[in-house]
Amino acid sequence: MSARILFVTGTNTDVGKTVATAAVASAALRAGRTVAVLKPGQTGVAPGEPGDAAEVRRLAGELTIHELARYPEPLAPDTAARRASMPYLSPAEVVAEVRELAATHDLVLVEGAGGLLVRYDDRGRTLADQARAVLDAGLAAEVLLIASAGLGTLNIVSLTAEALAARELPLAGVLIGSWPADPGLAERCNLADLPRSAGAPLLGALPERAGTAEDFAALAAASLAPALGGDWDAQHFAHVHRPE
């Protein structure tokens, strides 16, 4: 069976992409699958410091982690590379790494920086271009969109879904990166509205501060839909949190 390749992107920065990536990795490991996590461009982390991929491994367990480029300032990858006088990252490099990882793992997770159209080089190429290049190379790939739960998220989800559709990139679904302990009306209504905005299913809701859970594997399984290896039920969750 060929590897599943998931590009993980967010509606913005700080929406929980890294913890979400860890949750998906954890569920796959729990099912006995081999997992690799690729961070094409890591920004804002000094040499020798643990980056996002290392955080995924800390939360999820034993898996393969790779970075292709690391830039010291917490900026968009193209800006960070330019300011540091370091080489830009090309889609071809991502294709080569994904191909190699997919040959030896059941699941390859590619975690982007920020949102879908954040630039990686001086030609304006993005995570979407990396995913498109992987598909054009004959490798099956999908995109998992991590979204915030509250007011304002629907517009960004719709824009991201339109950008994906324009590039003929398959959207596997939307995952809420941080579900509040005390959700308001907007969060509750968004459980129905998010999949409509995305044109793709809602595949889970990770509770806020999920990265501090004592049993992260159990939390991941309870927060992800079966399509991502968990047992979360979207209809039941929406019923529990239905608007009053």
Contact 220, 31 (CB under 8 A): no
Catalytic residue among 4, 17, 39, 132: 39
Instruction: Read off the DSSP letter of residue 185.
Output: H
Active site residue 39: yes
- Residue 153 to residue 187: CA distance in whole angstroms: 10
Instruction: Read off the DSSP letter of residue 2.
Output: P
Rg (C-alpha) for the chain, rounded Å, is 17
- Residue 48 to residue 195: CA distance in whole angstroms: 40
Cα-Cα end-to-end distance for the chain: 46
Instruction: Read off the DSSP letter of residue 90.
Output: P
Of 54, 57, 73, nearest to 25 by C-alpha is: 57
Active site residues: 39
